[in-house]
Structure formats: C-alpha cells, structure tokens
Amino acid sequence: MPGFEFFGAEERKEVNDVLETGILMRYGFDGARKGIWKSKELEAAVCATFGCNYAQLVSSGTAALTTAMSALGIGYGDEIILPAFTFVASFEAVLSVGAVPVLVDVDDTLTLSPEAVRNAITPKTKCVMPVHMCGSMADMDALAAICKEHNLILLEDACQSIGATYKGKKVGTIGDAGTFSFDFVKTITCGEGGVIMTNREDVYTACDGYSDHGHDHKGGMDRGADLHPFIGYNFRISELHAAVGLAQIKKLDNFLSIQRNNNKILRTILSSIPEVTFRRVPDEAGDSCSFLSWFLPTEAITKAVVAELKAQGILAGNFYWFVNNWHYISKWDHLKNSVTLSHLHPDLKAAVMHHANKDFSASNAVMGRCISTAISLSWTEEQIKTKGEQMKSVISKILEEHQVTA
C-alpha cells in the first residue's frame, strides 16, 4: 500500500477520457459526455471485484459511512458500537447523523472485542460497526451472531482493508452494508473517494438518492425532471476521481500479491526474535497484508523501541497507534470533551462524553504494546531485508537494555 505507488499510463488514460469530453460531473450532460461514464464503470467493477449486488460511489470514506448510516435508518438517539482503535472518521460519521458513538475495547485482532460488544448493548443500540483495521478483519462470525441475536444492523467500516477476505467473502460485503475509502493512502485510490457496498436494494436506492441531494434519478436525460422523495446531501464523486479508481481497481490483484510477499519477508525476519508476537488474524488467508502489526512484551519496551527507531532515523512507516492523534482514543481530547463547531443537543453531548471517557484499560494493554509497519508496494527484496535487519537490531538492543532474554 498505497496504490499511488503504482500510478502510470493506465490512470492517465482514464482521466484523459474524461478531460476530452469536458464533463467532470457524474450525472447529466448525457450527450456531451459521448458515452463516458467512469463512475458507472467503477461501480460495476466494484460489484464484480468484491462480490456485492450494489455499489454507490461517493466523495470520501467518511461520506460513505454517513450515507450508509442514513440509508440504514440510523439517527437521533441510536447507539452505534464501534472500536476505540479506528480512524476519527468513524465516530465523526456517527455524530453527523445524530447518533451516539459507543466506543468499546479492541482485542489482539486490533478490532472489536465481541465480549466488549455484548457488554455494551442497551435498548438504544441500533448498530454494530466493526472497523477492519490495518489490512485485516474483525471476527465477523461472532459479531454477526450478536447482531442476529439482538436484531442489530451490521455495518462494516472496511476502509483500511480493501481486498481482505473473511472465509471467502470480501470484507465490506458481509453485513447489511460496508464501506471503502479511496483516499490517497489507501490500497486503491481515487485521490479522494469512497463507496458503499450492499446486497440490499433498498439500502442502495437510499444511498443513490441521499448522496445526490435526494434525486431519485428517474428523470431520464432531464436531471431537472428527477423527483426528490427525501432530503439528501451532496456527497457525489467526480468523474475525474472515478477515472483514477477505475484504473486502480484493475491492479488490485497485483497490489495484494506484492503486499503479501513483502509482508511475509519482513515477518520472517522479525519472527526470529522470540519476544516479538503478531496480531491475531481471524482468517490468516484473508489478510490483505497492507500492514504487519506486531507486539512487544511491555508498553515501556515498545515506547523505547519507538524512540530508538526515531533516533536512528528508521521510524518512518512504523506506526505506534497508542499515541497517534488520528487513530486511538487516548489522544481524542476533542471527542472526550465533545468539542464541536455546531451545537450538539445537550443529551447527545453528554452521551458522547460519557462513552469517550470510559475505562479502556483492556485496549490500552493491547495498543500500548503494538507497532504496525506499513508494507510498501515499491520495496525491493533487498530493501525489505535491510529494513527488517535494522528493526531487528533496534528491538534486540532495547530488549537487552531491559534485560529481557530469550
């Protein structure tokens, strides 16, 4: 990852097709676009590639989550259970529809702990939202069983795990709906963009209208003849962004093959240190391998390794999420204090603060010891081995300093 590492003639060709027509908008201008519909082509390619019945492109992964929640009827007062380790967009989307983000602990999969989900269910719970972090996947059998037992919506945030599978099914296509982000640092990129995937026609129809000001898209060539059965918003993707994604999706199998090979080489090197362990992957064969996530024995040792990697100038590409401003509850002061520019209803504000300030010690015990290494598509085998040996040397040095021996 990410797909921009392999930009080339294919992306330029698709973009130039759009530029030659001058029609950058995904809807309307039927005659002038001369049969060029990159968004429609990419939506069809998403369905074929990931095995879903419907796909709706939007402007970002965040917009995809917001649109999906609205289409699924999630709103004011509803509680959505999601993990304390995710990207800020996950809880931003929940707040955007007036719902309550109920953050709960993750386990050694770096995704939702099914036990924590069960313990968080209340009469207000409407949805469970697993976030498939760092290329892998949540325990979907356990989470699906919980949702079935309690009649809850299962919405997958698969933005970080494009191409991952769970027992033969692509993540993002298992629940009532799922989302991908196609931003600049994702496995497939449009530059900016996202998609909602679903096998439910009613959810797709709602997403189609909601993301385009409520248009029902039944007016034929006359966009002005469309009806508006409900209020929507402008979350449209542009034809230029879709064009980039159309070239990228055709390269996905190659991206995944390279990621898995590079991940395996690096893992083999780090595996030679007995004190290094690795995240639990619910379906090893389905890991997209965009990251190699590994654990050290203690938080103190992990922080020392991170500091030494930085001191030696080799921290780049290694993420210590525990103190990362974007991805873990420990640094989300704006959420903990419910700091928003628009005013929240007092009840919602209180609920947000309550759930963001709970005890996350179980997650801390996992995240405090975890480092994730991003897997580059452009690495040579020699570069991987050099990087791996450098990391191994740092880890060994710190373990020795902390008097940890095999």
Nearest to 259 by CA among 288, 294, 293: 288
- Residue holding tokens 């709706």? 56
Domain final residue pick, 203, 234, 250: 250
Same domain, 260 and 385: yes
Same domain, 324 and 199: no
pLDDT of residue 55: 98
DSSP state of 183: B
One domain for residues 265 and 389:
yes
What range defines the domain where residue 2 resides?
1-60+176-250
Relative to beta strand 54-58, strand 194-198 is antiparallel
Give the residue numbers marked as catalytic: 186
Give the pLDDT band of residue 372 (cuts 50, 70, 90): very high
366 located within any domain:
yes
Max Cα–Cα distance, the chain, nearest Å: 74
Q: Which of 223, 250, 277 is the last residue of a domain?
A: 250
313 and 221 share a domain?
Answer: no
- Collapsing DSSP states into helix, strand and coil, what is residue 278? strand
Predicted confidence (pLDDT) at residue 53 exceeds the cutoff of 60: yes
Regarding pTM above 0.75, the answer is: yes
pLDDT exceeds 80 at position 1: no
CATH number assigned to the domain comprising residue 26: 3.40.640.10
Q: Where among 250, 269, 290 does a domain terminate? A: 250
Q: How far apart are CA 19 and CA 211, in angstroms?
A: 24
Residues 230 and 297 in one domain: no
Indicate whether 129 belongs to any domain.
no
Query: How far are the Cα atoms of 27, 193, 199, 309, 336 from residue 177, in angstroms, in the given order?
Result: 23, 17, 7, 40, 28
Q: Which CATH number belongs to the domain containing residue 324 in this structure?
A: 3.90.1150.10
- Contacts made by residues 13-16, CB under 8 angstroms, sequence distance 24+: 13/247, 14/38, 14/243, 14/244, 14/246, 14/247, 15/240, 15/243, 15/244
How far, rounded to the nearest angstrom, does the alpha carbon of residue 193 sit from its chain's CA centroid?
12
Both 274 and 226 in one domain: the answer is no
Does 238 share its domain with 264?
no
Task: Name the average pLDDT for the chain.
Answer: 97
Q: Do both 303 and 395 map to the same domain?
A: yes
| Domains identified in the chain, total number | 2
Judge whether residue 406 has pLDDT over 70. Answer: no
Residue 66, domain member (yes or no): no
